[in-house]
Amino acid sequence: MIFSWTNLKKILRDPLYLLKYYKIWKLYRFPRFTETESDLLGYNVKIADSLSFISTYKAIFEKEIYKFKCDTETPLIIDCGSNIGLSIIYFKKLYPRAKIIGFEPDPRIFEILKSNIDSLKYSDVELVNAALWSETATLDFYSDGADGGRVGEKIEEVRVIKVPAVKLSGYLHQKIDFLKIDIEGAEFEVLNESKDLLKNVEKIFIEYHSFASCKQNLHQLLVVLAENNFRVSIANNGFIADQPFIKKIVNLGMDMQLNIFGYKDIS
């Protein structure tokens, strides 16, 4: 972790940030893919991988990319790709009485997720140890030991396990205040299968993954959202090269990631 003027400004505004910065710096130096704990949130949470934890923490708790408003104190939130539970913890900070259904297919990560959620004694949180897919099935899951495990596109030199898969449509027969989908490339298949029920979803977040070896389906995904009256904002999450005509960045088989924010167009 390199010290920057941005971090210095944060420290000058809030001296407590220095302690937070130190905790983040220690995690940067911690061996990757090694289980440990962190009290960066003010209490201990178990983590599976230091680097992915830092990245996710910054996106969720500093940038607050999932922040939303709704007309109830008890929103129903579906969290597809809960990983170790940081998104659920954030949603519960935002709406303590929220009802949340979280999906995580990796058995090892799921145990960490369950431990974190149980330790915080949250009510109205249902955890499902399954992948989401276009059909009910048993699938090959490529586990990277962090936040990049996935079904579908193969990851070289990672552990392959069998996981159960369920359909998202089985959970959409009611009003959903917020639907978060971060499932490492399965997003179009899952959304397309449940497209007739997206009318019940008020707000949606999708992390879109483009695989260098596959034809892109971003246009098809956007059509599904448009047909369900979603207006979208799209942000580069830092994965795209500054000069993609000259050099592409490929990481874990992906050449692009985008954050898609969808909300109902009432015009």
Q: Pick left, alpha or beta for residue 152 (phi over 0 → left; psi -120 to 50 → alpha; otherwise beta).
A: left
Please state the domain count of the chain.
1
| Cα separation, 240 vs 130, whole angstroms | 30
Does a structural domain hold residue 197? yes
Number of neighbours of residue 158 by Cβ within 10 angstroms: 16
| Cα separation, 255 vs 213, whole angstroms | 9
Provide the residue type at 71 as one letter.
D
Does a structural domain hold residue 158? yes
User: H or E segment at 18?
Assistant: helix 16-28
57 or 2, which is more confident: 57
Q: Burial, 11: exposed, middle or buried (Cβ in 10 Å; 0-12, 13-18, 19+)?
A: middle
Does a structural domain hold residue 36? no
Task: Give me the torsion for CA of 102, 108, 113, 115, rounded to 10°.
Answer: 140
Does a structural domain hold residue 234? yes
pLDDT in tens, 66-121: 999 999 999 999 999 999 999 999 999 999 999 999 999 999 999 999 999 999 99
pLDDT band at 153 (very low <50, low <70, confident <90, very high): low
Domain of residue 178, residue span: 60-264
Nearest 5°: the CA angle 78, 89, 188 is: 35
Task: Using alpha carbons, list the distances in angstroms from residue 265 to 38, 43, 224, 230, 253.
Answer: 40, 39, 14, 5, 34
Does a structural domain hold residue 17? no
Does a structural domain hold residue 18? no
User: H or E segment at 102?
Assistant: strand 99-103
User: H or E segment at 234?
Assistant: strand 230-236
Helix (H, G, I), strand (E, B) or coil at 166: strand
pLDDT in tens, 171-196: 999 999 999 999 988 999 999 999 99
Number of neighbours of residue 232 by Cβ within 10 angstroms: 15
Does a structural domain hold residue 148? yes
Predicted pLDDT at 9 = 64
Rounded to an integer, the average pLDDT of 232-259 is 86
Does a structural domain hold residue 50? no
Note if the pTM is more than 0.95. no
| Cα separation, 207 vs 185, whole angstroms | 8
CATH code (residue 88): 3.40.50.150
Q: Average per-residue pLDDT in the chain?
A: 89
Is 210:236 a contact under the CB 8 Å cutoff?
no
